[in-house]
Amino acid sequence: MWAVLSENKIHKRAKSIHLDREPTPELIKKLIEYHEQKNLPRYQMLQDYYEGYNRILNRTKEDRTKPNNRLVSGYPSYIVDLMQGYFVGKPITYTSSDKELMAEIQDIFNYNDEQDENSELAKMCGIKGRAYEVVYIDEDSRVRFNELDADYVVMAYDTKINSEPNFAIVVNWGASIDGVADTPLTATVYTKDSILTYVEGENGLVLIEEREHYFGQVPIIEFLNNDEGIGDFERAISLIDAYDKAQSDTANDFEEFTDAFLCLVNLSGTEKEDIQKLKEDKVLLLDEQGQAEWLIKNINDAAIENYKKRLNDDIHKFAKIPDILDERFMGNTSGESMKYKLLALDQVIAAKQRKFKRALQKRLELICSYLQWKTNKVYDYRDIDIQFKVNKPINEKEAVEMAIQMMGITSLSTALSKVPGVDDVEMELAKIEEEKRMYIDLDMLEDEEVEEGIEVNNGEV
């Protein structure tokens, strides 16, 4: 767990870096320090919340005899995981009229377990607002891509109107044992044509290796959650903190209630032995002037529960995530009514899809660039269409009927992409063609058998 938990600060989102300079050792070092000061505290705080290390765990009380429950709600992971499942719970599909290109791309995707990669990237974006991916060539000369945590990446863009990556730095912070450096900081810098590896020495960063990468552009891709690079639950953190505090204080109140004092009036002569006997016999004998009652803290249950309900509703409202345990989501709800209940979430997912699609196109562009260099064939990533399917309950009969109607006005591949259960459109089209060939073979076989029967009959006649 990161040491940032000991701090109770508001970590502002740092702005993107735009510059046209070459990555010198001095500039690389400054950018790493900027990233460490401006970005890392925020990223670590968001990761802590996702893992259940909320700020309430830092709460202390001067009077150690009083209850100090510190209950952590699971809202951050609930919000991120639900959005992730809704967004990429169903695999992203790709279609293209260029069968050769699609076969090459699908082979690379299968080799890299592309569906799991997309799921991890979506989760990282949901937590920290952004994630990164590196595309590289492995020892077998095959294209690989793998996610990178935002903690370890510094991306620098050029200053053009439609800015593109100028270079990217992947930082390995090194390790230390008992405060003594065991391994030094290492910075791998990806430019548009080469990969530079620096190691921190006594006099700064020292270049130890340089090699080409053959992609023609920076092979680091930034996946954004939205334009601002904000995580799914980040806007609701103060509400989550308030809910944690309310839950913890409620637990404290009930604990104090169980630790109530017994107040004895006009019984000042009571001895310690009398109290012990009272505990054992559960009987208290009082004279006319004696009184006994519990001294307890009054708890307004209704007000507390209403307050927590408002917080719960606001968290879901401002995180734009539905409360699926709400009574309004249960029972016989019409499809049209459900659309309005999911309207806010659908708007968020639509924005996620646009940002994710742009990054996926960059992945395809890098892959096509390498394939073109390797095979001398012209491959255009724009020939591949990317399609998302939200993972929500649907009327399968209605979806199939819609797909059938689309066949008259769209291509077969587009219509098939709308059919539930069809995850790989290209594979489905291949199966259809194979079945057609089987039908043709069977028809030809039947015709041949009929012709042979006629010839035999004619011979007998």
- Band (pLDDT 50/70/90 cuts) for residue 399 is confident
pLDDT tens, position by position, 286-321: 666 666 666 566 666 788 889 999 999 999 999 999
Answering whether pTM is above 0.85, one says no
Bridge partners for 153 per DSSP: 170
Q: How far apart are CA 323 and CA 321, in angstroms?
A: 7
Element (H, E) at 275: helix 272-281
Is the confidence at residue 182, as pLDDT, over 80? no
Contact 386, 417 (CB under 8 A): no
Tell me how far apart the alpha carbons of residues 69 and 247 are, in angstroms, rounded to a whole number.
9
Mean pLDDT, residues 335-339? 64
- In angstroms, how far is the first alpha carbon of the chain from the final one? 94
DSSP 382: G
Q: Report the DSSP pairing between strands 153-157 and 143-148.
A: unpaired
Mean per-residue pLDDT of the chain? 84
Q: What is the pLDDT of residues 419-448, one digit of tens each?
A: 877 877 888 888 888 888 877 665 566 555
Whether the pLDDT of residue 72 is over 80: the answer is yes
Residue burial 358-391, b: 16+ Cβ < 10 Å; e: rest:
ebbebbbbbbbbbbeeeeeeebebeebeeebbbe
Q: Please list the residues that pair with 93 across neighbouring strands.
A: 387
Which helix (DSSP H) or strand (DSSP E) does residue 194 occupy?
strand 194-201
Q: Where are the beta strands (DSSP E) in 41-164?
A: 93-96, 130-137, 143-148, 153-157
Going by C-beta distance under 8 Å and a sequence separation of 6 or more, which residues neighbour residue 174? 181, 182, 183, 184, 185, 186, 200
pLDDT of residue 4: 40
Q: What is the pLDDT of residue 287?
A: 67
